[in-house]
Amino acid sequence: MGVAWSEKGVRRFQLPDRDKDRTASQLASRLPTGLVSTAAAPDWIDRLIQDVKMYAEGAPIQFASVPVNLDGVDAFRLAVYARTRQLSYGETLSYGELAARSGYEGLAREVGQAMGSNPVPLIIPCHRVLAAGNRIGGFSAPGGSASKQRMLSLEGVRTGPPPPAQASFGF
């Protein structure tokens, strides 16, 4: 994984890619030039890294208290991201439900676009936002929908339609 931060909070978070170099390259490509520093990570970044590792091992970690720096993000996305950060571990919403709860009824497609441009996935848990019918929907992070499905599975979330009733009776 890769993380970039400022004194205000996390600016970018990159989910793991095929290898460390590709992850670093993807993170760097999303940062404005001149923002790279070789300074040591602050303690709160070290805690974030440990929490991400624990999350990947299946621990029910919440990232809602991690400070984020969303400078330059428009009001619509700020509202959608703020509501998304309120989703608990294992809790999901559809794009349409998130739009309505963010004060933007009817803008499900735009919510999907906001999720796709989320600068700090996992910290703003866009993987918890699903398409209608409890379908997985898209995911712009490395690994695409398969990564989203793995993250949801870690949290005990089953996506897709429920199994047919007769399946529980062995038919």
Predicted confidence at residue 30, as pLDDT, reads 66
Q: How far apart are CA 94 and CA 131, in angstroms?
A: 5
Q: Is 94 helix (H, G, I), strand (E, B) or coil?
A: strand
Enter the pTM of the model: 0.84
pLDDT at 169: 52
The pLDDT of residue 170: 53
The reported pLDDT for the residue numbered 168 is 54
Give me the domains of the chain, ranges plus CATH numbers: 1-32+40-157 (1.10.10.10)
Residue 171, pLDDT score: 47
pLDDT on residue 87: 97
What is the model's pLDDT at position 76? 98
Q: Do 13 and 1 contact (CB within 8 A), yes or no?
A: yes
- From the DSSP assignment, how many helices (H) and strands (E) are in the chain? 6, 4
Q: Can you list the residues of the chain whose pLDDT is less than 70? A: 18, 22-39, 161-171
Output the pLDDT for position 29: 64
Residues carrying an active site annotation: 126
